[in-house]
Structure 1
Amino acid sequence: MAKHLKNFWLNSMSDTNDKTQKTGAIIYLRVSTEEQVDNYSLDTQLDICKKEAERRGYSVLEVFREEGRSAKTIRDRPTLIELLEYCRKNRKNIGAVIVYRLDRISRQTADYLAIRKKLTEIDITLISASEPTGDTPTERFIETMLAGFAQMDNDVRGERSRNGMKARFLSGLPNGNIPLGYKSKNGYAVKDAEVFNILKSAWDQMAMGTKSLREMAEILNKQGLVASQKGRAEKLIRAQTLSCIFRNKFYAGKLTSRKYGLEVQGQHAPMITEEQFYKVQAILDGRNRNNAPELSKRNQDNPSFPLRRIIKCSRCKNSFTGAWSKGKKSRYGYYFCQKRCGTGSSVPVKVIEDTTSQLLDRISLQPETVKLINAYLKQAYFLRLGALRNKREEADTELKKIYELRQSLIEKNLNGVYSDDIFKEQNKLLEEKIGGLQAAKSDSVIDKYNLETITTFIQNKFTNLNDTFESSLLKQKRVLMCSIFPEGLNWSYPGYSNTQINPFYRCLIDVQEHKVKLGTPGGIRTPD
């Protein structure tokens, strides 16, 4: 602001000693949206200011209107800057600037006094149409006090706004923009149904550790998901956007604030669990302990060595890597322990491939076993479907009761039956119950999986694991092997030893080998 006033003052130093009576006046109008409700519209101000100009013997030369602006500095008030420049150029004809109230010029006392001083130096009087202003010591004192009250009122409003925002945060309600997947409704963050489900699926895929941020962005863009904010154009999802999304604890039902240094439980329905959130953080940080592919490094791997970092040394427990050795006539591929501890020395790629092929053939499921398992899955699926429907119906019934109870609580508070403190305490308990029931409903999604897709996938992929492995892309090969062998493949020359198979897949093998029977859909039981 000082820069604008300095220029205004330097350009207006000439002809300031001309004391001839000037009868022209400028009217400056400014109103915010809130003040229009209180009958402070621009037309109302203009009518009052014109009457004041007529009463004082001024003719109105120009009217400057500043609509809907609530700025803290003069640089954010282009119409006021234009008015000051107009006064400088036409100072010989202008005797007064008339405003409805002094705080129309500025709510900051120092700014107001600086503007008034510069206008006075070029013989222009600042007049309030609704407050006492003038050139006597008493009138100037009152004018300064009024400007001070305007600043105090502005500061009090700012403090109330800040306190209100903090109270809103502490109660679990978000301030500012609502993250993608949610929308604002009556001051609450609620699910944006279509986007919510797409983004929840993205979290699930990230938690598997099989996709990079760039790959996830491509998938979401193909699904038509866009990143947009109120008042801004829609744009494609990018890796940087997803990085912010997957780092935001809002999706786990929490609100965090750097400003307050606090984390609170949000009132919105969480998209994921905290456990899943931290699992994704570990993957993004490269600290995943469950052998999910290390995306930043593995994407650069040579497809000739698909099992590097999956095969483990049985002696030192370090991962095997792969490299080429140049012979006289050709190159030869080898897997070897990164620590070179001497276990089996270097193992030719062909030996690893043959051994892996034999292992996959040995644990592949027979077609009859797959049919039995798929039949069991269908039976269990429909039983589960009914249970989930019942769970959602029970949650809806309980929610209805709680909403009625909360309405009764509000009415009793308004009627003075319950104090504000008791109301807040009881309302908080009800909000917690509502949040829990909403989360339960969210977990009871009955159309999350396509049964036909699952059974077809099992039949096509698990009856011949070796063919599935050979026909897959590099990343798919690693997903397959890490899913079946979560702890990796232990190599002890001349083959794999003590290799742990995923417990779920181990159950399928045991069914095939008649070690366990498929019982009721409650689970898998051992023979009597």
Structure 2
Amino acid sequence: MKVAIYSRKSRITNTGDSIENQINLCKDYCKDKIVDEIFIYEDEGFSGKNTERPEFKRMLEDARRHKFNFIICYRLDRISRNLYDFTNIINELDTLNIQFVSIKEQFDTSSPMGKAMMYIASIFAQLERETTAQRVSDNMLLLAKSGQWLGGQTPLGYKSKCKTSYDNNKINKKTYVLSPIESEITTIRLIYDLYEKKRSLNKVKDLLNENLIPAKSSINWTAKRVQIILRSPVYVKSSPKVLDYLSANNINVFGNPNGHGILIYNKTKNITQKRDRSEWVASISDHNGIIDSPKWLQVQSLLDTNARTPPAKGTSNRALLVGILKCANCNGNMYIKHGHTLANSNVRILYYVCENKSKSKGKLCNNGNVRVDEIENALIEDINKILIDTSKLIESLFNTIKLKDYSLYSLNINKEIQYKNIKIQNLLDELSLSPELSKHIKPKIIELETSINDLKYKQLSRKMHLKNNYLLNLFSKEKLNLSMFKDYITLEEKKYILRGLIESIYFDEKNHSLEINYK
């Protein structure tokens, strides 16, 4: 007989029921059987709550091609913890005349009794999983209501500190609380003071960057980072009015106001999906608040008022080089900024400005600005010279458009996105069971999220290529001149072609140079 051995483990370890141990036990089971060939399928780091596992799916495909006639696993729940999935899998294997063996429970589908016992065991496996998940969730919420720090990235101004105590049975218990970092506490107070005076997130952000005041992890300040600090109740000295404000925003509040800060729990289901505010838990913590409640409430009122003010209309969509134009001095991005209005035409001049220079008011970088129209015209003139000699634009378009069929390409991208989403969910499941591993798990989740966003962008880009396939008919060697950028294609199409043609552009005002790096 030909045997497939399937092994799975949610966490990557070499102990206990590790992948290697599972495979060896299955091989031992085969020793007294007449086995012609063994195929091994391993899924490490994948949960059994669904069947979206690469090696498991490959095993089923091989089963449908009748590559083997037995599937052996160490334990029943290695296949699935979901009763519906498990039932469908066993039924399909039965249709394919493939026997299934679970060596731990000693179940064998070759007999009616073995098959019946397997279904019963799978019901209890799913019940155990759902009960464990609910117990973990309930326990986390219970700890949240007590105001404990449950792990993760600490807010600016605090560090996590272990607190040891003993229960009634004299058992040592460890909990974690937020402990102040005085230098960062000063920054928090400054942010609240500045916002009360300036009433603008961008102005506060600019002042912080200009004065080189460090943010968390030494990253430049953004308006969003400032807003998160101003909105966070972790800094407020709790009072009845603060709790009323949170309750009015449909947040569940626990604890008695005593001047301590407030922690918010249960805000997200996963890294990308937020819960409704009615599911949030706000609890009085053990750490001391920093900002007096009247001041904190005043800031919330200002933020609410400003949030209702329509934002200014952006200008980056009118510029060709946003995203590829870099500062030669500091390697920072250059973005669009308004200049003066021309008296004779009432047209506002736009400039590319170094982001680091603008944020720090010239302290981090002193590269000069450049007019949008001047640098873009210079670039297009340079492209025109290159194309006369090499026809790079035509080559770029053909190389990009004449690839795989979009439907197949899109399907493969969707599969990869789905695979990465499953890995994210598996990491989140592990995080819920072991919050202390957050500093190791969160970077992996962020990396996967970034990868998914890149895949989505590639998918959208390919679709845009197909939509603009007609461009190929417009271009010939005779038409490769400046007029095609003016007359034949839209601004978005111009941007897309430039990104397919150019790797990066560096502007240096001091040396009056524009360095263009073609792909």
TM-score when normalising by structure 1: 0.44
Which is higher, the Rg of structure 1 or of structure 2? 1
